[in-house]
């Protein structure tokens, strides 16, 4: 099965647009320098994020969970010319390197990068959002969704990563963190405020459109 998944990933990457040189660099350096490089969105999911953002042309984007900035830059590709992308991460050790990536891109002036607890920072960011990407502490995903749903414009998107949780959502005896993911999925499936579907790419991407 793993061999088939690897073959599928390779095929998908061959048949979508290529990464920019900067994204290739971030990908390479993340795998060389980070202990959990799998947290990176990667080539194919990055193209999915870029495509969704380009379809939206958002003026305001919020990302929770910057990591090394790969997904941030993919989302930024779809920004309105005067749009702003706010991205939050807890890891101050990555700040200098990630800010360097942003500065090296053409979106440097449009990206506002925050270090700290997202729950404390989000209320300090003014205005509503056209697109939200949640890719941080899985235990708080439902909290983030409930906090932000009223700040997403009608027709706007909320994207939540890792909702298949490496297939553990199908486990007979799920662990506590898996139970949180299952609870999130079941709650969102019943939420009438959004149209929703899960894209089964990588670790599962929940796509929710605010009605």
List beta partners, residue 198.
206
Give me 59's structure tokens.
């003026």
Q: Show the CA angle centred on residue 65, arms to residues 15 and 132, nearest 5°.
A: 75
pLDDT tens, per residue, the chain with 211 residues: 345 778 888 999 999 999 999 999 999 999 999 999 999 999 999 999 999 999 999 999 999 999 999 999 999 999 999 999 999 999 999 999 999 999 999 999 999 999 999 999 999 999 999 999 999 988 899 999 999 999 999 999 999 999 999 888 888 888 888 899 999 999 999 999 999 999 999 899 999 999 9
Contact yes or no for 102/67 (Cβ under 8 A): no
Domains of the chain with CATH codes: 2-210 (3.40.50.150)
Q: Is the distance from CB of 67 to CB of 81 less than 8 angstroms?
A: no
pLDDT value of position 2: 45
Check residue 1 and give its pLDDT: 38
Quick one: tokens of 1?
Answer: 């099965």
The pLDDT, as a whole number, for residue 3 is 55
């Amino acid at each position: 099965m793993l061999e088939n998944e690897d073959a599928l990933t390779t095929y998908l990457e061959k048949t979508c647009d290529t990464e920019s040189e900067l994204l290739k660099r971030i990908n390479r350096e993340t795998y060389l320098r980070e202990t959990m490089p799998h947290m990176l969105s990667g080539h194919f999911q990055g193209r999915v994020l870029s495509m969704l953002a380009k379809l939206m042309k958002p003026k305001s984007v919020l990302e929770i969970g910057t990591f090394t900035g790969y997904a941030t830059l993919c989302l930024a590709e779809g920004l309105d010319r005067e749009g702003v992308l706010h991205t939050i991460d807890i890891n101050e050790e990555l700040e200098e390197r990630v800010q360097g990536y942003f500065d090296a891109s053409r979106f440097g002036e449009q990206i506002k990068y925050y270090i700290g607890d997202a729950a404390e920072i989000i209320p300090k960011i003014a205005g509503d959002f056209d697109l939200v990407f949640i890719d941080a502490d899985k235990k708080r995903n439902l909290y983030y969704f409930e906090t932000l749903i009223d700040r997403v414009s009608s027709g706007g998107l909320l994207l939540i990563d890792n909702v298949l949780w490496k297939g553990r959502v199908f486990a007979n005896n799920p662990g506590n963190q898996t139970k949180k993911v299952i609870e999130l999925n079941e709650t969102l499936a019943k939420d009438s405020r959004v149209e929703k579907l899960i894209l089964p790419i990588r670790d599962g991407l929940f796509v929710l459109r605010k009605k």
